[in-house]
Chain A
Amino acid sequence: MKKILFLLIFNMFFYNLKAQENPVLSEGTPLQGMRGKTLNLPDISALGNIVGYISDDSKDADKNQLSINEVEIAFQGYIYPEMRADIITAIHKHDGDYESEICEAKASFLNLGYGFSAEAGKIHIDFGKVNKLHTHHLPTTDKPLMLEKFFGEHELAGQGAVLKYLIPIFPFYSQIQAGFWDINAHSHAQEEASVLDITGSTITVNSLLHDDSSFSPSDKVYTARWNSSFDMNGQKEIEIGLSGLKGRGAHYQEHKDNVEMIGADITFKWFPDSYKKWTFQNEWMRLKRDIPVGTLNRDGFYSFLNYRADKYWDYGVRLDYSENAWPQISYERSFSAIITRHLTETSYWRITGKHRNINGKNISEGWFQLSFGIGPHSHELE
């Protein structure tokens, strides 16, 4: 293991030194992240996400509101030949208040040689097909249900590193990657209660609270993913992926739970002409929690069908099913219909209607979303 690590680090420096010593100058358009010219500024961009939400659930405190849900500020640029840095900060609306956080801050080693690359820092973990995407890149207003149940409100993001390898021996695209992460544990919300002890005296104790959205893997987490893609006549493509994760639960101190997850995804894309596009994306995940009193197995999946009719309009439907992550099992099914109108390459508005069935209780919801971008903003291939 040490030898492999040494070789990787050696290669990293060797390749970068070679790039520095033997430059072949190329004129032409600077890459994204190489703008700014003599000012030596990184690419700076801001993205906003305004969301209006209605619901027929009388207990929903967030309904009938229109508010800015998220603002993302990104600084992106190259720090060395074939090394780039991306710092993406975000201000989210969370339980009615705004909280700022480092969404991602990473250095990417694009070429370690022999098909290897790596990223280090705080990163959206490449688990499954959607978790890596930022909110404004999602083809739907909300995340698939199972991601909320298994990863919590935000994307699963950790501090750590991932090593990627593009497999050269297959006659098609195939990449494997492995990552190790440190993910902050959740703090339990606590409520004080007065109870009688065995002597009949009144004492005050803390009781633990949790809700479905607060579970996620945490602590030392190890992930792996394999994904491949098969080109069919240049205008159709099938992408498949398998993901795995091992770690602890976000409330390990209280629940002593070890967590394993597996996921599988398959996506079919068809580009019949310049603007038309069909996407059929399906993803399944299983969460396994080993807790002192037994093992919990929980499943979730979604199926998303989207049709891009022209360069401006997208029409999609998504079916979701997910069980919760807690000992007392509950389930939720939902059906969403989504219409998106693209304004420019980075801005769009979207209307979503959603019908949810939560343990037999039916709720109808609607969203209006306006997502906009200012300035040059780029993400790696997603």
Chain B
Amino acid sequence: MKILSLSLFLFLSIPSYAKINIIASSQDLKSIAEYVGGEEVSVESLSPGGFDIHFIEPRPSMVFKLKKADMVVKIGLDLDMWTDSLINAAKNEKIFYGKEGYVDASAGIDIMQKPDKKIDGSSGDIHIFGNPHYWLNPENGKIIAKNIKLGLLRIKPEKKEYFEKRYSDFCRKIDDKMKVWKSDMSAFAGEKIITYHNSWIYFAQAFDLQVAANIEPKPGIPPNANHLSFLFELIKKEKIKIILVDNFYSLNTPKEIANKTGARLIVIPSSVAGENSASDYFSLFDVIIKKIKD
């Protein structure tokens, strides 16, 4: 009888000590969820570091991960649209749209470049809800953290104090780091830059840069001779010194532009684990800013 009681006690006790199993669609969201959730969570990302999140192929093994999840954290804005079919296939009632374990990290973000006219294929692979690369402004990291915190509170309200403290610490650390990062980037304030894909406007917003043009003439469309001529002229005319390229894109065209114009080609990770030294959300910006400064 005692053994039975003990077993029952242990069985009932397990849920309150079990970690919240979070599946994030990107390494950035994983990093933030790990910070806010602390010891109460175990987090896994569906995307490896250094991969273009547009092109992640949903696979059955991902369904298996979501089947066991208590919470899913999505980038949203159609960037990780592939998670929708995975969530449906996982048949896990905790993480369906609108359920307590469903977190869309984009909620509350001031979305840039929301289309204000009809869009179709002539605009390239444009996102109908606006530019989805919002995590590249550290200030938006705080909103992502808030969304994750709210999800955690829905699942484990008894840990409110713990999650609130972790969230506050995260925001404070962002504020502290922002002072350093802004100071480091002050030499580039107001400078125009070229980027490969239209993925750096939130970063530019945070550090007072201006994205003058992209190497892709339209999102997802490879550069052609006419567009390259336009870029050569623009770079010379505007005296643009920096070309930022996410490290998963082909470097052939960016190198050609850099060689012809003298602009500096900077190859950087655009997400956590995009390279070894970008091991979390804070070090991601350390790495990016160090590469721009160097």
Contacts and interface: CB of A to CB of B under 8 A. Distances in A.
Nearest to A312: B222
Contacts of A277: 57
Interface residues of A, number: 57
Interface centre among A237, A277, A347 (most CB of B within 10 A): A237
B93 A27 contact: no
Given A312-B222, A378-B84, A173 B63 contact: yes
Interface stretch (B44-52, B165-173, B234-242, B253-261): B44-52
Contacts of B59: 229, 231, 237, 239, 269
B268 to A, nearest CB: 14
A336 to B, nearest CB: 22
A117 B67 CA distance: 13
Contacts of A27: 104, 107-108
A141 B98 CA distance: 39
A272 B85 CA distance: 23
B88 to A, nearest CB: 5
A26 B107 contact: yes
Given A28-B104, A110-B88, A275 B52 contact: yes
Contacts of A117: 91
Given A116-B91, A168-B67, A345-B125, A82 B96 contact: yes
Interface stretch (B2-10, B75-83, B185-193, B201-209): B75-83
Contacts of A381: 58, 60, 63, 85-86, 88-89
A309 B105 CA distance: 32
Interface string B99-111: 1101111111000
Contacts of A312: 222
B158 interface: no
A296 B222 CA distance: 53
Contacts of A344: 121, 124-125, 220
Contacts of B85: 378-381
A98 interface: no
Interface string A257-292: 000000000000101011101000000000000000
Interface string A163-195: 010101000110100000000000000000000
B96 A29 contact: no
A230 B98 contact: no
A290 B98 CA distance: 51
Interface string A319-359: 00000000000000000000000011101000000000000
A198 interface: no
Contact of A25 (B93, B98, B124): B98
Contacts of B84: 31-32, 378
Contacts of A32: 81, 84
A312 B54 CA distance: 13
A15 interface: yes
A235 interface: yes
Interface in B117-140: 120-121, 124-125, 129
B98 A81 contact: yes
B230 interface: no
Contacts of B108: 27
Contacts of A15: 93
A237 B58 CA distance: 11
A229 B106 contact: no
A19 B60 CA distance: 26
Given A110-B88, A229-B60, A229-B64, A29 B106 contact: yes
B290 interface: no
Contact of B248 (A25, A112, A115, A274): A274
B11 interface: no
B57 A166 contact: no
Contacts of A200: none
Interface of A: 15, 19, 23-29, 31-32, 34, 81-82, 84, 108, 110-113, 115-117, 164, 166, 168, 172-173, 175, 227-231, 234-235, 237, 239, 269, 271, 273-275, 277, 310-312, 343-345, 347, 372, 374, 378-381
Given A29-B104, A310-B250, 17 more contacts: A23-B98, A27-B104, A28-B74, A29-B76, A81-B96, A108-B88, A111-B92, A112-B91, A116-B91, A164-B91, A166-B67, A168-B67, A172-B61, A173-B64, A271-B48, A275-B52, A344-B124
Closest 10 CB pairs of A and B: A28-B104, A229-B60, A231-B61, A27-B107, A274-B248, A173-B64, A29-B76, A173-B60, A28-B107, A274-B51
9 contacts: A28-B76, A29-B77, A110-B96, A111-B92, A111-B93, A112-B91, A228-B60, A273-B50, A372-B121
